[in-house]
Homo-oligomer: A and B are copies of this chain.
Amino acid sequence: MSLIVEKYGGTSVGSIERINAVAEKVSKSHHQGNQMVVVVSAMSGETNRLLDMAKEINPGMPARETDVLVSTGEQVTIALLCMALMRIGHKAKSYTGGQVRIETDGSYGRARIRSIDDSRIKKDLDKGKIIVVAGFQGVDNKGNITTLGRGGSDTSAVALAAALKADECRIYTDVDGVYTADPRIVPEARRMDMVTFEEMLELSSQGAKVLQIRSVEFAGKYKVPLRVLSSFEDGPGTLISYEVDRKMERAVIAGIAHNADEAKLTITGVPDHPGIAHAILGSIAEKMINVDMIIQNIAADETTDFTFTVPRTDYENALAILNKVSVELGARGVTGDNNIAKISVVGVGMRSHTGVADLMFATLAEEGINIKMISTSEIKVSVVIDDKYTELAVRALHKAFKLGEKK
């Protein structure tokens, strides 16, 4: 008998009809002889409905009370899904995060899971019950309700799978797996049967928003076998694998990711001496602005140009900070661009193959697309381009790397 953790997001449980459909899916897995733990989000729209009331009553949105408020969303879903399961003849029991008990730190709105008590759930599983757990939520060591932040239900599912030593953790979403590129841009994009953990990590962080990057990291830490599937249609989905011995036929490149949510800033002619990077980025980090790509080049005149990217929503803030820093450092000036896109080719095969970066650059050059920044890691090459070329670049690269062809 296998133990399976399944997670259904907000759109998957967005109506009574959808909840009944989820119950049927869970029932099927249970009838196949599996012990089932189901993690659910709030019905789609519910969290925003609650947050809108909170904003109206107190725009300051006090953190502790916001968590008390929004955690009711998942609590509604667990009760309704249990009722649906019982109606079709199953024994089912709901657990809030606190009832499990999923203990977190005390950071309201973005709590991190510290420990999970699996004893009560295991006892109920052994009695043949289907367990339905509220995702996204926990309690701190004083019993205060906490939430894990947006997408936290994925993390709840993976963490429960790790604690229960589940045989598989299935994340049901509105797409049927991980694709070689965004199918809305590239019609011939192909669903991958399997993707490595490292590839998934890069694809997630590069903007392929199938899974929250935090849940992928969590899965990697505990080697939880993770599968992404559609809750709307049947299919095998995409398995995220930790295998080292890969099939020889494995493609060099797994997929293309794109992200148009960033902006780039450059401070030019900075007198080059130790501590410059910290002087520049320290003031950005202080304001809690995340920095993604960082590039530094030394010019002939012993000054340096320093470029980095930030979330586009933080562009104006970062620009203001940088202008101040520029004066302090005696730099030449500051330039910025918030019409950029980052395009990445990702694949573990890259480690042993040369020429990936070269093919990428050649392809973009052929299309007349100028590259503004380049950054590489062991399993990806990222470039920053003008964002109006996003679709063109993704399509051309998908074709050049032959990702649409059946492997």
Contacts and interface: CB of A to CB of B under 8 A. Distances in A.
A67 to B, nearest CB: 8
A50 B62 contact: no
A57 B87 contact: yes
A13 to B, nearest CB: 11
A98 B143 CA distance: 9
Contacts of A78: 65, 68
B86 A80 contact: no
Contacts of A86: 58, 60, 62, 65
Main secondary structure of the interface of A (DSSP, over half): helix
Nearest to A94: B68
Given A65-B86, A82-B62, A86-B62, A76 B50 contact: yes
Given A76-B50, A99-B143, A143-B99, A84 B57 contact: yes
Contacts of A75: 68-69, 71-72, 75
A339 to B, nearest CB: 38
Q: Which range holds the interface residue count of chain A? A: 35 or more
A362 interface: no
Contacts of A144: 99
A19 interface: yes
A54 interface: yes
Given A65-B83, A75-B72, A76-B69, A57 B16 contact: yes
A93 interface: yes
Contact of A54 (B20, B83, B96): B83
Interface in A91-132: 92-94, 96, 98-99
Nearest to A101: B143
A318 B94 CA distance: 37
Given A16-B57, A19-B57, A57-B16, A79 B87 contact: no
Given A50-B76, A69-B75, 19 more contacts: A16-B56, A19-B57, A53-B76, A53-B80, A54-B80, A54-B83, A57-B87, A58-B83, A58-B84, A62-B82, A64-B93, A65-B78, A65-B92, A65-B94, A66-B79, A66-B83, A68-B79, A69-B83, A99-B144
Interface in A143-177: 143-145
Contacts of A20: 57
Contacts of A329: none
